[in-house]
Amino acid sequence: SQQGEEDPQALSIQEGENATMNCSYKTSINNLQWYRQNSGRGLVHLILIRSNEREKHSGRLRVTLDTSKKSSSLLITASRAADTASYFCATDQDAGGTSYGKLTFGQGTILTVHP
């Protein structure tokens, strides 16, 4: 079952603007990951944030995690047309201290960046 909910479902912005996507989940997690998927293609891993981390950066990406609110956000700064894709959060649920790597995906946000 899908435990992640993402908003917005779709986001349309102009090149150069920032894009923020949010993800909420329901259970305790080991980590939360963000993925990107271009239309009809496989997934590209963007960033992983562990449950004991609050913020992480990678290039133009900034991810925050609030375990008390069971939510995460992905910020893409200075967006480019090439950032147009679907973005998914995925949680690796806490299975009693053992991580099996089983991911539960959110519904995704479709980002369109207009040149």
The pair of three-digit structure tokens given for residue 88, joined into one six-digit string? 């998914």
Work out how close the CB of 53 gets to another protein at its nearest, in angstroms, rounded to a whole number.
Answer: 13
Query: For residues 53 and 78, what is the distance between their CA atoms, to the nearest angstrom?
Result: 24
Q: Check residue 25 for interaction with another protein (CB under 8 A).
A: no
Single out the segment in contact with another protein by CB under 8 A; choices: 29-37, 51-59, 64-72, 77-85: 29-37
Q: Where are the beta strands (DSSP E) in 1-115?
A: 5-7, 10-14, 19-24, 29-37, 43-50, 55-58, 61-66, 71-76, 85-93, 103-105, 109-114
Least distance CB 72 / another protein (angstroms): 16
Position 2 contacts another protein (CB under 8 A): yes
Interface with another protein includes 49 (CB under 8 A)? no
- CB-based contacts of 88: which residues, under 8 Å, 6+ apart? 4, 6, 34, 35, 36, 37, 43, 105, 106, 107, 108, 109
In the list 13, 48, 61, 75, the residue contacting another protein (rule: CB under 8 A) is 48
> Is 93 one of the binding residues for another protein (CB under 8 A)?
no
Q: Which residues bind another protein (CB under 8 A)?
A: 1-2, 30-31, 33, 35, 40-45, 48, 88, 90, 92, 99-108
